[in-house]
Structure 1
Amino acid sequence: MTGALRALTLLVAAVVLVFGGLTGFRLLTASTDTDGTAPPTCTNQTIKKGAKLDSNVVEVDVYNASDRSGLANRVTINLQTNGFLGDSIGNSESATKPRRVAILTDERKDPRVRLVARQFKDKVAYRKPDIPVDGGVAVIVGDDYSKLRSKAPTSIRTDRDIEVCMPTVPLP
C-alpha cells in the first residue's frame, strides 16, 4: 500500500506543478485591463450657500519661508489632524516672507480661507498670490510661527455656493 500511496502523492504533486506553472505563465503574459488613465481621486460637488463647509473638503498647500527644517510638513500634519486635506508641501518660492503666517489669496472672505485662518494661534496676514494657487488655500509659515489654535473650528457656514472636489476611494 505504501507504493500506491507514493505514486498517488507524486501524481497529485505533478498536477499541482503543471496547473501552477500554466496559471503563472498565463498571468505573466496577460495584458492589463487598464486604458492608461488613473481613476479620479475626487468628484466635484457644490456646497450651497448657508450649508456647512467641513474641513475634510478643503485642500491646503503649506510652504515654509523659515529657517526651521520640516516646518511645512509639521503644519500640514497638524492641519490634517483637524480634517483638512494636505496638498503641496515644500519650501516657499513666494516673495511673501511672513514673520508668522500668511495666506495667499485674492479673496479673504472666501469661507475656505476663513476656516483655514481660524486654525492658527498667530495673527494671519493676507497677501496676493505670486505663486500658483490651484483650488486650495496656500499658507506660508515664517520663522516666528508658533502653533495651531487648540479646539479650532473644523467647519463654517458658507456665504456662497462653493465648488469642492470630494475625495473618493476607488473600490477594487
Structure 2
Amino acid sequence: MNKAAQRLVVMAAAGIFVMGTMLGIKLSFASPESVADEPACEIKKVARGEVLSSNLVMVHVYNSSRRTGAANRVKINLERKGFLGGVAKNNPGKVRTKNVTVLTTDPDDPRVRLVAAQFEGKVERVPADFEMEDGISILIGPKYEGLKKDSNTKIKAGRDVSVCVPAITLP
C-alpha cells in the first residue's frame, strides 16, 4: 500500500475515533427518555351473583415453615388451578400457622372464600402484620396438608368485588 493510501486509512480511523468519542460523551450526559406510566393492573368488577373465577384472583404465598421452596410449590400448584401467581417468599411477619392461613381483614370476601376452599384441613383467616401485595395473601405452615384435588375454582360472588388483573401490554 502506498503512503497516500496509508494516510487515508489513518485519517479515516482517527475520524471514526473522534466521532465515536463525541457520540459517547453526548449519550453519557443525555437525559433518559420518559416512559409513559402504565397501570400495573386493570380493575375488573364482579357484581353480586356473578361468577368469580380463579383467573381473576392473584394469590401471594408466604412460607411460614422451615421447608425450602414450599411457598413457590404452592404458588405453582395454585397457578395450575388457574389462579394468578403473585409473590412466593418467606413469611416477613410474626403471624404463624400450622396448615394454611389467609391474611385478611375481611373473611367474607368472595376472593378469600375461593382461595380458602382450595386447601385441605383447617384454614384460618387472620389480619396480616405486614404490608401485603394487592390480591390474596396466604401463609403455608409446617403442617401444610396440601391442595384439594377437586376443589371448585369458581364461586358466586356474594357481593360486588373489584379485582386487579395484571395489565400486559404487547408492543
With normalisation by structure 1, the TM-score equals: 0.76
Aligned residue identity for 1:102: T
SS at match of 2:142: coil
User: For the residues of structure 1 that align with 2:165 and 2:81, how far apart are their CA atoms?
Assistant: 17
How far is the alpha carbon of 1:39 from its aligned partner? 3.6
The answer for the alignment partner of 1:6 in structure 2 is none
Q: Given the alignment of the two structures, is residue 76 of structure 1 paired with residue 66 of structure 2, yes or no?
A: no
How far is the alpha carbon of 1:136 from its aligned partner? 1.0
How far is the alpha carbon of 1:140 from its aligned partner? 0.3
User: For the residues of structure 1 that align with 2:64 and 2:52, how far apart are their CA atoms?
Assistant: 29
- 1:5-24 per-residue CA deviation (whole Å, 9 max, x = no partner) reads xxxxxxxxxxxxxxxxxxxx
The answer for the alignment partner of 2:20 in structure 1 is none
User: For the residues of structure 1 that align with 2:35 and 2:45, how far apart are their CA atoms?
Assistant: 29
The answer for the alignment partner of 1:105 in structure 2 is 104
The 5-angstrom pairing of residues 58-73 of structure 1 reads 58-73=57-72
In the alignment, is the contact (CA less than 8 A) between 1:99 and 1:145 conserved in 2?
yes
User: For the residues of structure 1 that align with 2:37 and 2:56, how far apart are their CA atoms?
Assistant: 21
In the alignment, is the contact (CA less than 8 A) between 1:59 and 1:87 conserved in 2?
yes
SS at match of 1:114: helix
How far is the alpha carbon of 1:168 from its aligned partner? 3.6
In the alignment, is the contact (CA less than 8 A) between 2:134 and 2:164 conserved in 1?
no
The answer for the alignment partner of 1:21 in structure 2 is none
User: For the residues of structure 2 that align with 1:61 and 1:83, how far apart are their CA atoms?
Assistant: 14
In the alignment, is the contact (CA less than 8 A) between 2:48 and 2:160 conserved in 1?
yes
In the alignment, is the contact (CA less than 8 A) between 1:94 and 1:130 conserved in 2?
yes
Aligned residue identity for 1:84: F
Aligned residue identity for 2:66: D
Unpaired runs of 5+ residues, structure 1, are 1-28
User: For the residues of structure 1 that align with 2:74 and 2:43, how far apart are their CA atoms?
Assistant: 26
The answer for the alignment partner of 2:90 in structure 1 is 91
How far is the alpha carbon of 1:38 from its aligned partner? 5.4
The answer for the alignment partner of 1:119 in structure 2 is 118
In the alignment, is the contact (CA less than 8 A) between 2:119 and 2:148 conserved in 1?
yes
User: For the residues of structure 1 that align with 2:36 and 2:99, how far apart are their CA atoms?
Assistant: 41
In the alignment, is the contact (CA less than 8 A) between 1:100 and 1:145 conserved in 2?
yes
SS at match of 1:69: coil
User: For the residues of structure 1 that align with 2:134 and 2:41, how far apart are their CA atoms?
Assistant: 13
SS at match of 1:107: coil
- 1:53-76 per-residue CA deviation (whole Å, 9 max, x = no partner) reads 011111111000101000000000
User: For the residues of structure 2 that align with 1:167 and 1:90, how far apart are their CA atoms?
Assistant: 19
User: For the residues of structure 2 that align with 1:128 and 1:158, how far apart are their CA atoms?
Assistant: 21
User: For the residues of structure 2 that align with 1:115 and 1:107, how far apart are their CA atoms?
Assistant: 13
Identity %: 39
Superposition RMSD in Å: 2.2
